């Protein structure tokens, strides 16, 4: 571990010589004077207690969270990774048959640390909150209520809220010295920031307060209030919602009345936990326009909410081991191969003209063409075999050059996209993670991702 790490909420300082890349227009360049995020000091710092991986869907948040957790554990920390991704591949990559709402220890982790993993069970977490805030009889009434069952399974924002609720539970247990959170997939990466307030506002809304008013009065007085003061409203709601649903709602809010304060208090506490020193947000993105636009929105929102941003993890960045060869030069070379006739396999003339049999002849190729057409070599002759081989090599070489040109165009496009982001947010520390040739299926793959994050960028031909 580092001897004097920076605070968890302070972006890492730039490394010396922060990645000067090649200068060609289409060459594979790394980030220029951008602040470079050092992952290891962040993970090693004992003051870092929570790392939240957030970003739009499909950018590798879950894999990033798992790789960070594994790296931290193998550097000596006791880590739990909370994921919302139901895909079995993550559990399999950690050597676990399945993940559920209970942290499970991951085997075969090197070093002195520990890695535990769990997957959010939204309804079970909601049930745990109810059980924690109500006595046994009232909790049973709430858990069996049809309206509650619908609310806990599908209310907008419930998953996001419960992810943060589970985070609060894990932090309160103080069993792990680092919690890594994979935020829920959603249409907007900002949803989970709003979820605690949204659910708290719902439970504290006017309709809920109105429906709980009869229960607060209690007994016949409550029924009288309901029958006289609310008859018009309940009649209208009964027509809109259905009498049974309205009854379920009223029963639910009556049973939940004493727990509403608990929900609101926990929502506020969770929000403050996200703002506290010791929490570090990592925005995860891919070098694509939409993903980085979402990342920019997230960076701005985190700043507005005074939440500690550690930096940006830029996933799936492509590189090339032949960056000095530009796309234009590669395409020109491919065209030259075509124009030179090396890939002309129809007559084999080009190969025959350059064959050893014609070398040293006093006739120039032009004289040969004007005087007497050189006969094509017989099929199966050495000259014909050479012509065929040269044609195949030429076709393959031209194809590879065009593939390289496509790769260099991709690198240039990714670089322009990165440059736009860093121009807007030069204060954000960034680490590049080279693209992998395939999916991650085991701990070795997660270690590889961790190594790439720590080393900071695309190398070779990834």
Same domain, 233 and 164: yes
The total of structural domains in the chain comes to 2
Q: Is the pLDDT of residue 350 over 60?
A: no
In which band, very low, low, confident or very high, does the pLDDT at 26 lie, cut at 50, 70 and 90?
very low
What percent of the chain has pLDDT above 70? 61
Extract the tokens encoding 156. 């907008």
Q: Are residues 113 and 222 in the same domain?
A: yes
163 in a domain, yes or no?
Answer: yes
β 309-317/178-182 pair status? unpaired
Is residue 435 in a domain? no
Residue 283 lies in a domain: no
What distance in Å separates the CA atoms of residue 433 and residue 64, rounded to the nearest whole number? 10
User: What would the pLDDT profile of 131-153 be if each residue is shown by its tens digit?
Assistant: 877 788 888 888 888 877 877 76
- Euclidean distance between CA atoms 248 and 258, whole angstroms: 17
Structural domain ending residue among the three candidates 418, 442, 457:
418
* In a domain? residue 42: no
* 206 band by pLDDT with thresholds 50, 70 and 90: low
Residue 120 vs residue 261, higher pLDDT: 120
Distance CA 409, CA 328 (A): 10
pTM for the structure as a whole: 0.73
Nearest to 457, CA basis, from 25, 28, 5? 28
d(CA 91, CA 97): 6
Instruction: Tell me the residue range of the domain where 73 lies.
Output: 49-277
More confidently predicted of 421 and 32 = 421
CA angle 187, 280, 157 (to 5 degrees): 30
Provide the Cα torsion 65, 70, 75, 79; round to 10°: 70
Residue 32 lies in a domain: no
Higher pLDDT, 101 or 46: 46
Residues 252 and 351 placed together within one structural domain of the fold? no
Give the CATH number for residue 241: 3.40.50
Q: What is the pLDDT of residue 24?
A: 37
- 316 in any annotated domain: no
Residue 335 is assigned to a structural domain of this protein: yes
Residue 267: the pLDDT is: 73
Residue 305 lies in a domain: no
User: Mind spelling out the 3-state secondary structure of 143-170?
Assistant: HCCHHHHHHHHHCCCHHHHHHHHHHHHH
105 with 223, same domain: the answer is yes
Structure tokens at 217: 């009065």
Residue 286 has pLDDT above 90, yes or no: yes
Listed residues 257, 277, 297: the one ending a domain: 277
172 and 271 share one domain: yes
Residue scoring higher pLDDT (336 or 32): 336
pLDDT at residue 345 greater than cutoff 70:
no
Mean pLDDT of 56-61: 86
Q: From residue 131, how far is each of 124, 138, 266 by CA, in Å?
A: 10, 9, 14
How buried is 72 (Cβ within 10 angstroms: 0-12 exposed, 13-18 middle, 19+ buried)? buried
Asked if residue 205 and residue 78 are part of one domain, the reply reads yes
């Amino acid at each position: 571990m580092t001897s004097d790490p920076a605070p968890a909420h302070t972006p890492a300082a730039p490394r010396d010589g922060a990645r000067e890349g090649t200068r060609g227009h289409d060459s594979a360049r790394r980030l220029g004077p951008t602040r470079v995020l050092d992952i290891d000091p962040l993970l090693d710092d004992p003051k870092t207690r929570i790392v939240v991986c957030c970003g739009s869907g499909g950018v590798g948040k879950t894999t990033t969270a798992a790789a960070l957790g594994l790296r931290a554990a193998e550097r000596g920390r006791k880590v739990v990774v909370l994921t919302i991704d139901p895909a079995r591949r993550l559990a399999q990559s950690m050597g676990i048959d399945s993940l559920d709402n209970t942290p499970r220890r991951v085997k075969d982790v090197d070093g002195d640390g520990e890695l535990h993993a769990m997957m959010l069970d939204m309804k079970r977490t909601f049930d745990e909150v109810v059980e924690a805030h109500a006595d046994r009889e009232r909790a049973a009434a709430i858990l069996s209520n049809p309206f509650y069952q619908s609310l806990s399974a599908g209310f907008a924002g419930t998953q996001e809220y419960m992810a943060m609720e589970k985070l609060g539970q894990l932090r309160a247990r103080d069993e792990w010295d680092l919690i890594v959170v994979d935020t829920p997939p959603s249409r907007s990466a900002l949803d989970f920031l709003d979820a605690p307030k949204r659910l708290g506002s719902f439970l504290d809304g006017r309709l809920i307060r109105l429906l709980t008013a009869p229960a607060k009065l209690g007994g016949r007085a409550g029924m009288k209030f309901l029958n006289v003061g609310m008859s018009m409203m309940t009649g209208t709601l009964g027509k809109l919602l259905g009498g049974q649903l309205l009854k379920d709602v009223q029963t639910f809010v009556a049973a939940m009345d004493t727990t509403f304060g608990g929900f609101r208090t926990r929502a506020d506490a969770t929000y403050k936990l996200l703002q506290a020193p010791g929490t570090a947000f990592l925005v995860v993105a891919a070098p694509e326009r939409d993903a980085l636009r979402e990342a920019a929105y997230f960076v701005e929102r985190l700043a507005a909410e005074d939440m500690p941003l550690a930096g940006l993890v830029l996933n799936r960045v492509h590189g090339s081991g032949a960056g000095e060869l530009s796309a234009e030069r590669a395409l020109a070379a491919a065209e030259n191969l075509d124009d030179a006739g090396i890939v002309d396999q129809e007559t084999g003339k080009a190969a025959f003209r350059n064959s050893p049999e014609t070398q040293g002849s006093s006739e120039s190729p032009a004289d040969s063409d004007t005087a007497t057409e050189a006969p094509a070599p017989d099929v199966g002759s050495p000259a014909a075999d050479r012509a065929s081989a040269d044609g195949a090599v030429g076709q393959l070489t031209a194809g590879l050059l065009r593939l390289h040109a496509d790769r260099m165009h991709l690198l240039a496009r990714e670089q322009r996209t990165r440059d736009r982001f860093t121009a807007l947010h030069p204060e954000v520390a960034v680490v590049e993670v080279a693209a992998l040739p395939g999916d991650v299926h085991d701990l070795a793959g997660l270690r590889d991702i961790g190594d790439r994050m720590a080393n900071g960028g695309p190398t070779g031909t990834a």
